Amino acid sequence: MSTYRIATIPGDGIGEDVTEEAVRVLDAAARGFTIEWTEFDWSCEQYLRTGAMMPADGAAQLAEFDAIFLGAVGFPGVPDHVSLWGLLIPLRRAFGLYVNLRPVRLLPGTESALSGRTADELDMLIVRENSEGEYSEIGGTHNPGRPDEFVLQESVFTRVGCERIIRHAFERAGQRQKKVCSATKSNGLIHSMPYWDRVFDEIAAEYPDIETRQMHVDALAAEIVLHPDRLDVIVGSNLFGDILSDLAAAVTGGLGLAPSGNINPEKTGPSMFEAVHGSAPDIAGKGIANPVAQILAGAMMLEHLGEHDTAAAIDKAVCDALEKGETLTPDLGGSATTTELGNAIAERAAAQ
């Protein structure tokens, strides 16, 4: 029987609660394999104690694992650019996790913000560039403290980076509804986005059987709300993919439902799985966070590792528990705790 070695980083806030539930569900569901979890307590708390979010050799410590399972990072008391650039963003880069997959589905038993939509009308996949673009360290503050003070923040769009993420989106679309929509903003950003569009056109020519669209990201935001049925795979730069994924999660019924996979498609290092949401300081410590997003991120992790049957069983357990509707957390209109919804899913996963 194979054993997967998984590193967990529960992190901050509700990251700890939802990771605990997801670990329980994955253990309950595992068929024909076992998972050996190793926990790392890297967090804002650790930063306040030691001055670092993770040790200097943090990435090296994780390199030997089959995958990384991350809760959420960031908490009031440590500036977000310190906590996130001290852990999440460097890990995405250390392991070549240039694809960020963010499925957007209407799950049974949950109500879309767009009432009347059915699951087949609301099934999208956001393919977010995850290693460059608007998230760059190039820039700086000039003339600090003077009246002519200014700040520069550069974007980086490389040919390799654009080609590989756009190609990945086309490959995914080939396994779905064969449609790719590219998020652009070439009307406002005169260098980066026309370049992105040019690479998109080049790659599109390699996939004549895939239907393509290019939409300015603002109009695309409206399209996600007004006509999600027209969308299948959405490919976007790092920042556009980030913003669209919270919007799309909200359209399906909330941030507590949306999983995310940071993928190294070549499998030359461990991929990392997390929810789309953050550490939710406003509900941290209350035991009411919705664990579904983190549990579905766990199913994505097992899918990535090749455990298709167990991943499907977890997906079904989530859908069944939501459809039954007896243990919904407050964000879904219920009054259940994180653990109660986690239990309902774990029991169903174990019974399959």
Choices 4-12, 23-31, 81-89, 325-333; region in contact with ligand IPM by CB under 6 A: 81-89
Q: Taking CB under 6 A as the rule, does residue 104 contact ligand IPM?
A: no
What residue type is assigned to position 158 of the chain? T
What is the x/- site pattern for Mn ion, positions 175-214, by CB under 5 A? ----------------------------------------
In the complex, minimum distance from the CB of residue 224 to ligand IPM, in angstroms, rounded to a whole number: 16
List 280, 296, 300, 336, residue binding ligand NAD (CB under 6 A) = 280
In the complex, minimum distance from the CB of residue 329 to ligand NAD, in angstroms, rounded to a whole number: 6
Nearer to Mn ion, 132 or 242 (CB): 242
Q: Which does 255 bind (CB under 5 to 8 A by kind): ligand IPM, Mn ion, ligand NAD, none?
A: ligand NAD
Residues 242-261 that bind ligand NAD (CB under 6 A): 255-256
Tokens of 327: 């243990």
List 14, 233, 263, 318, residue binding ligand NAD (CB under 6 A) = 14
Nearer to Mn ion, 124 or 317 (CB): 124
Distance CA 216, CA 211 (A): 17
Distance CA 133, CA 131 (A): 7
Distance CA 221, CA 283 (A): 27
Distance CA 116, CA 247 (A): 18
Strands 233-236 and 123-129: parallel
Q: Taking CB under 5 A as the rule, does residue 242 contact Mn ion?
A: yes
Distance CA 352, CA 316 (A): 9
Distance CA 239, CA 128 (A): 8
What is the x/- site pattern for ligand NAD, positions 59-88, by CB under 6 A? -------------xxxx----x---x---x
Distance CA 348, CA 352 (A): 7
List 276, 293, 321, 346, residue binding ligand IPM (CB under 6 A) = 276
Residue 67's DSSP bridge partners are: 6, 271
Distance CA 130, CA 263 (A): 9
In the complex, minimum distance from the CB of residue 38 to Mn ion, in angstroms, rounded to a whole number: 26
**Cα four-point dihedral sign 46, 94, 30, 284:** positive
Q: What values do phi and psi take at 95, rounded to 5?
A: -105, 15
Q: Taking CB under 6 A as the rule, does residue 283 contact ligand NAD?
A: yes
Distance CA 347, CA 210 (A): 41
Distance CA 102, CA 235 (A): 10
Residue 140's DSSP bridge partners are: 152
Q: Taking CB under 6 A as the rule, does residue 346 contact ligand NAD?
A: no
In the complex, minimum distance from the CB of residue 274 to ligand IPM, in angstroms, rounded to a whole number: 7
Residues 191-250 that bind ligand IPM (CB under 6 A): 242
Choices 26-34, 84-92, 288-296, 337-345; region in contact with ligand IPM by CB under 6 A: 84-92
Residue with tokens 């090296």, as numbered in its chain:
60
- Residue 190: exposed, middle, or buried by beta-carbon count in 10 A (0-12, 13-18, 19+)? exposed
In the complex, minimum distance from the CB of residue 229 to ligand NAD, in angstroms, rounded to a whole number: 25
**Number of residues binding to Mn ion, judged by CB under 5 A:** 1
Q: Which residues are near ligand NAD by CB under 6 A?
A: 14, 18, 72-75, 80, 84, 88, 255-256, 274, 277-283, 289-290, 293, 331
Q: Which residues are near ligand IPM by CB under 6 A?
A: 74, 84, 88-89, 242, 276, 278
